[in-house]
Amino acid sequence: MLSLAGMPVYVARPDGPGPHPGVVVLHQLFGVDGSVRRGADRLAAAGFLAVAPDLYHRTEPGAELPQDDEGRRRGFALMHRMDRDEVVADVGRCLDWLRGPGGAGPRTGLLGVSLGGHAAFLAAARLGVDATVVLFPGWLTGTEIPLSRPEPTLSLAADIRGRLLFLVGERDHVVPPAEVARIAAAIPGHEVVVYPDTPHAFFLDGTTPAAEDAWRRVIEFL
């Protein structure tokens, strides 16, 4: 992990001279763990300069939680200490770094998974982003978590100026079909893909046909 103005970030660089297109990878509930780092590495292998910021750095820097019940409990506690404006500022710092000297240049995008998908949707509405991929983000339609206050994050959808790709599984318990329908209705003109018979968290380390198709779409879209 490197430090970007005091914020820990994982950086994965592609081979060969740049500039390369850049992408900010926003982590799920468990922090910048092995699955997030492997995802960033996979993007780098596809030719992207990928940076994954630690969105928990203000409360528990370096948090890398196990993907079990205890990890979820700790992750929910950290999520409820996040601040909407601070997260947008963190993403903005990453975009500025990617666009700066030695970075990716002007071609930048976002990839967010679960909690990070919510953060990516929010950042796409608040920042100038060319392309954003949002995977199975929770709590977009309500105000249950700090990231979705004071108004539901979905209500900001009209402010998204770049392209958006929304990917979710049909059997996602965090983003059920009725919520997917509400989200799809709020983002006309953007692409929504629902994978049949697919649960939550199928993407980063997934080996299913849905995961492989999602990776193909992500790389082509970004």
Q: How far is CA 176 from CA 53, 136, 214, in A?
A: 28, 10, 18
Question: Is 172 designated active site?
Answer: yes
- At residue 108, what are phi and psi to the nearest 5 degrees? -135, 155
Q: Which residues have a Cβ under 8 Å from the Cβ of 15 and sit 6 or more positions away? A: none
Q: Which of 20, 118, 172, 190 is catalytic?
A: 172
Amino acid at 182: R
Q: Which of 41, 83, 200, 205 is catalytic?
A: 200
Residue 196: burial class (beta carbons within 10 Å; 0-12, 13-18, 19+): exposed
Are 7 and 93 within 8 A, CB to CB? yes
According to DSSP, the β-strands at 131-135 and 108-113 are parallel
Which residues does the annotation mark as catalytic? 172, 200
